[in-house]
Structure 1
Amino acid sequence: MTFNVLLQYILPHRALSRVVYWATRWTFAPWKNFLISQIVQRYQVNMAEATQPDALAYQHFNAFFTRKLRPDARRADTDPSTLISPADGKISQSGPIVDGRIFQAKGQEYTAAELLGDEAAAAPYRNGRFVTVYLSPRDYHRVHMPLTGTLKETVHVPGRIFSVAPFAVEAIPRLFARNERLVCHFEGEHGPFVVVMVGAILVSSVATVWDGLVIPPYASSIRRKSFAGQNITLERFAEMARFNMGSTVIMLWPEGVAELDALQPQQAVKVGQRLGQPPSH
């Protein structure tokens, strides 16, 4: 076990995330300008895409990190039936769900039931398809709909807050099924699908367009919220949530609902980029 991996087990995850949560919202100009400048320079962030291109004009670091893009900065794939990427980032893994098991990295996997926090809810995805997208600090941190869906339920699953960087994903067993996360269940034209917002160390803060800030507070037990009958339908490519700092998005579809393109691990993707299509297409 490397030192970096060992740290993931011994660091006080939630305490650190609470400190970072407030530090990234401190409006003291020298502080927030230092943080923003470090990220822009280190990761070569393309500020020309943002509605506010002046990085130091943002009220605090988190406002910069969750910045909105110009309307023409991202376009959805022109075929309205295709599945599209919900986020800027890199494909971590994608492919078939085999007897309820999802591939994490070489030698690592987890189950759909563990990820969703519910055996019954995972049943439709037993032999379905999945895509995992990793967002790095350089990426746009708003998450969009991979296809049109009506919100049925959210499930806030408590857990650890391990890093989701590649070194941790390769070394920590069942990482995505152990981290704090928000599971969003939707019903689409061709059947149900799930978008999972996975928290990460120094992040673990998730906000949705329908509920505002959901994490924190952190959960000590599974928290379910039904949206049945509320007719919350989000169109394909519409913004659905954001990470306050970066993390990972995982999408699941049942068998027969999605045919994925030949996506490769570490392949760069942008919001709106085609990931696949329904089988009937």
Structure 2
Amino acid sequence: MQQRLFILSQYLLPHHLLSRLIGCAAECRATWFKSRLINWFAKQYQVDMSEAAVEQLDAYEHFNAFFTRALKDGARPLDNSAGAVLSPADGAVSQLGKIEHGRIFQAKGHSFSVLELLGGDSERAAEFMGGEFATIYLSPKDYHRVHMPLAGTLREMIYVPGRLFSVNQTTAENVPELFARNERAVCIFDTERGPMAVVLVGAMIVASIETVWAGLVTPPKRELKTSRYDAAARAPIELAKGAELGRFKLGSTAIVLFGPEQVQWAAEFGAGSPVRMGQRLGANSL
């Protein structure tokens, strides 16, 4: 019954209004408020501050600065083995595997469309049909910056408006097409392994999504928006393997897609496996 009530509340709550209110609170600089919130959160979720570039909780100007904190140099060493494809974020593997019949496995009894996930463009989606996907869930205690699994040149970014359902395991098992329904930023890169999509999926109380090249992604008007970054549009944006790509202000999910026969995921990873940014998630399939 408790689970059913939680799922029902997901449909009834005013997602965007609630997220905006939480976003305002997360930017509050009043010392008495932000210090209590940060200290409560760090204790509640057992956040490991020993690896943070700034360890003192009271040093952060507001909650969002704490939540998107940088790590110390060397805290996330990159796997430099030949052909390694890196995890883009800290968290847990929600699911990973093959894209079959244009759909991505979400949870038992549920999948979602690649076409819808990527914004509804059939030409864009065609590059990933029959390819591979990995879905990484970032929990509240995790490091919340997202990094490049491979070096790549940004081709385009698509802002896709949508709902803001929670993205935890309970909602993944009960909300159909969850990741193709939520607000998201789709980033398409050209890499040595062909096209790579990194999708930053928003969630309940996620105040915003940012990228290193565009800053705040979620615009005031929730309309589909495509920004081209090819040579004809502007100077190319090239990011090295392991370089920061973007960040979540409050947690969510990152989904990585590759085309067919380009990547083979490491056998030790399955649903629920913990993973850290920079860890070898897979490798070239050839």
Q: Note if 1:273 corresponds to 2:276.
A: no
Alpha-carbon distance in 1 for matches of 2:18, 2:102: 33
Q: Which amino acid aligns with 2:209?
A: V
Indicate conservation of the 8 Å contact 2:22/2:207, yes or no: no
Q: CA deviation at 1:218?
A: 5.0
Alpha-carbon distance in 2 for matches of 1:113, 1:15: 28
What secondary structure sits across from 1:125 in the alignment?
A: coil
Q: Which amino acid aligns with 1:104?
A: Q
Find the counterpart in structure 1 of residue 182 from structure 2.
179
Q: Note if 1:196 corresponds to 2:161.
A: no
Alpha-carbon distance in 1 for matches of 2:263, 2:188: 16
Q: Note if 1:169 corresponds to 2:169.
A: no
Alpha-carbon distance in 2 for matches of 1:79, 1:232: 25
Alpha-carbon distance in 2 for matches of 1:183, 1:6: 28
Q: CA deviation at 1:204?
A: 4.7
Indicate conservation of the 8 Å contact 2:86/2:277, yes or no: yes
Instruction: Provide TM-score, normalisation by structure 2.
Output: 0.96
Task: Give runs of ≥4 in structure 1 deviating > 2 Å.
Answer: none
Q: Which amino acid aligns with 1:69?
A: L
What secondary structure sits across from 2:127 in the alignment?
A: helix
Percent of matched pairs sharing the same residue: 47
Alpha-carbon distance in 1 for matches of 2:273, 2:242: 20
Q: CA deviation at 1:124?
A: 1.4
Find the counterpart in structure 2 of residue 42 from structure 1.
44
Q: Note if 1:253 corresponds to 2:284.
A: no
Indicate conservation of the 8 Å contact 1:204/1:215, yes or no: no
What secondary structure sits across from 1:241 in the alignment?
A: strand
Find the counterpart in structure 2 of residue 102 from structure 1.
104
Q: CA deviation at 1:190?
A: 2.0
Find the counterpart in structure 2 of residue 243 from structure 1.
248
In the alignment, structure 2 segments of 5+ residues that lack a partner are none
Q: CA deviation at 1:78?
A: 2.2
Find the counterpart in structure 1 of residue 34 from structure 2.
32
Q: Which amino acid aligns with 1:267?
A: S
Find the counterpart in structure 2 of residue 143 from structure 1.
146
Q: Which amino acid aligns with 2:90?
A: D
Indicate conservation of the 8 Å contact 2:163/2:183, yes or no: yes
Find the counterpart in structure 2 of residue 13 from structure 1.
15
RMSD: 1.0
Indicate conservation of the 8 Å contact 2:84/2:282, yes or no: yes
How many residue pairs match? The answer is 279
Find the counterpart in structure 2 of residue 217 from structure 1.
220
Q: Which amino acid aligns with 1:55?
A: L
Q: Which amino acid aligns with 2:29?
A: T
Deviations 1:210-251 (A, max 9, x none): 0111124352x2100000112211000000100011100000
Deviations 1:105-139 (A, max 9, x none): 01000110010012221111110000000001100
